[in-house]
């Protein structure tokens, strides 16, 4: 089998996850990487993910079949010029940024359209860095491809097949359309989450009641506020026209909701929550994304020594692996409640059935 040579510029959460997925499915491929974070490079080499760690973008990048730009959005654009001497006609140059217009404009300016296909794996985590990367991050995640105007159909098909082989779901879009769509379903939610968290911080009581009483629902919808500030700063700057327009429309919709509340409009308020529930419930469950679905079971636990151990033993004896476990410290539920998180939906459902058989009270959320 022909060995593919693949270069990475940036080896954080996304770059590291792509590299790990490639290593998993193509163990003989040659992977090289440059990253300003020397610890990430050293870790990638020690884990056998990267074959060669580069101290700079140099001749090592010659004759690559793929080059992935996985730095923050503005840095990817800057790195393009440095890649020019090392590109061969057959090389596919791509990025992983969630804003596409700026890098496509630079690709056009540099005359790299024959090589460039923009990429955006719609997967992520509130955590960042190579240490948090994992091959499974791409599995069942939509992976947007934004081809340049003159890149060949052969290259597009080759990249599409490559993405599919990493268990992701490729979707080809125009880069302008991509930036509008992601501005609505990805960038806007991050801005909302960040502002909501800051609003609670700024309006909390002196003894931080809001912070301490924040329940699962609040934590779920604000989880993405823990994402990289540098990345989201750059996204807002690079996609500012789309985001500004979308944010304006969203603010208008919030004002309309405020009017419904001020007017005590029962019918329209009911319709607001009914329509949002129905539309949300119609979303497909098959694709992963930045806001991961949590597969968790909540059950009452007796406040006595060995209570958690008893539950863990029951689950282990039924071959159920626990991803995370802990006591919920607020009073969203009547008593102290144990939250047990699993790796998939089937495991959480099976766990709920088993615990109910053992007379535990299980809450569905």
Specify the length of the chain in residues: 365
Domain 5-174 has CATH 1.10.760.10: no
Contact 7, 66 (CB under 8 A): yes
Q: Tell me, what's the pLDDT at 360? A: 86
Query: Worst-scoring range by mean pLDDT, 29-38, 42-51, 303-312?
Result: 303-312
pLDDT at residue 331 in the model: 41
Q: Which two tokens stand for residue 344?
A: 């998939």
Q: How high is the pLDDT of residue 290?
A: 46
Question: What mean pLDDT is predicted for residues 143-172?
Answer: 96
Question: What is the chain's mean pLDDT, rounded?
Answer: 89
Query: From start to end of 165-294, where are the E strands?
Result: 169-172
**Is 70 exceeded by the pLDDT of residue 292?**
no
**Burial annotation 57-79 (CB, 10 A radius, 16+ → b, else e):** beebbeebbbbbbbbbbbbbbeb
Least confident of 60-64, 127-131, 251-255, 281-285: 281-285
Residue 9 has pLDDT above 50, yes or no: yes
What is the predicted pLDDT for the residue at 218?
84
Q: CATH says 179-281 is which class? A: mainly alpha
What's the CA gap between 220 and 193, in Å, rounded?
10
Residue matched to tokens 């009581």: 205
Give CA–CA dist 36/9, Å, rounded.
9
Structure tokens belonging to residue 348: 């959480």
Token digits of residue 130: 């190579």
pLDDT of res. 286:
54
Average pLDDT, integer, range 119-128: 82
Spell out the domain ranges in the chain: 5-174, 179-281, 295-363
120 or 336: whose pLDDT is higher? 120
Tell me, what's the pLDDT at 343? 81
> What are the Cα distances from residue 126, in Å, to 40, 74, 218?
18, 20, 15
| pLDDT number for residue 62 | 94
Structure tokens at 162: 């490559």
Question: Residue 229: is its pLDDT beyond 80?
Answer: yes
Alpha-carbon distance of 213 to 329, in angstroms, equals 8
Question: Region 149-165: what's the mean pLDDT?
Answer: 96
Q: What integer pLDDT is reported at residue 293 of this predicted model?
A: 60
The DSSP result for 114-136, as a single string, is: TTBEEEEE----SS-SGGG--GG
What's the predicted TM-score (pTM) here? 0.73
The β-bridge relationship of strands 5-9 and 66-69 is parallel
Who has greater pLDDT, 349 or 30?
30
CA distance 291 to 193: 12
Pick the CATH number of 295-363 from 1.10.3720.10, 3.30.450.20, 1.10.10.10, 3.30.70.260: 3.30.70.260
Looking at the predicted structure, is the pLDDT value of residue 330 above 70?
no
């Amino acid at each position: 089998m022909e060995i593919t040579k693949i270069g990475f510029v940036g080896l954080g959460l996304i770059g590291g996850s792509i590299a790990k997925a490639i290593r998993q499915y193509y163990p003989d491929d040659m992977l090289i990487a440059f990253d300003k974070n020397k610890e990430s490079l050293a870790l990638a080499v020690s884990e056998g993910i990267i074959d060669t760690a580069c101290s700079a973008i140099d001749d090592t990048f010659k004759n690559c079949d793929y080059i992935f730009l996985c730095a923050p959005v503005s840095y990817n654009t800057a790195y393009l010029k440095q890649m020019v001497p090392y590109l061969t006609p057959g090389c596919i140059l791509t990025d992983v940024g969630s804003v596409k217009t700026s890098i496509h404009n630079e690709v056009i300016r540099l005359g790299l359209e024959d090589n460039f296909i923009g990429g955006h794996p719609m997967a992520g985590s509130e955590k960042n860095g190579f240490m948090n990367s994992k091959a499974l991050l791409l599995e069942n995640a939509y992976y947007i491809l934004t081809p340049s105007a003159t890149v060949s159909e052969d290259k597009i098909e080759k990249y599409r097949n490559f993405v599919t082989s990493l268990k992701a779901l490729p979707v080809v879009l125009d880069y302008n359309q991509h930036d509008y769509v992601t501005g609505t379903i990805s960038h806007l939610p991050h801005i909302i989450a960040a502002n909501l968290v800051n609003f609670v911080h700024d309006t909390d009581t002196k003894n931080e009641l809001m912070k301490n009483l924040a329940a699962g629902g609040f934590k779920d919808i604000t989880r993405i506020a823990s994402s990289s500030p540098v990345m989201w700063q750059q996204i807002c700057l690079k996609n500012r026209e789309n985001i500004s327009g979308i944010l304006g429309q969203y603010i208008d919709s919030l004002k309309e909701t405020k009017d419904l509340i001020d007017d005590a409009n029962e019918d329209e308020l009911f319709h607001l929550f009914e329509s949002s529930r129905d539309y949300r419930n119609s979303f497909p469950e098959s694709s992963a994304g930045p806001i991961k679905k949590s597969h968790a079971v909540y059950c009452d636990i007796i406040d006595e020594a060995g209570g958690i151990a008893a539950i863990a033993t029951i689950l282990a004896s039924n071959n159920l692996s626990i991803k995370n476990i802990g006591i919920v410290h607020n009073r969203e539920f009547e008593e102290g409640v144990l939250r047990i998180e699993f790796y998939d939906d089937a495991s959480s459902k099976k766990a709920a059935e088993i615990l109910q058989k053992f007379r535990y009270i299980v809450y569905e959320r």
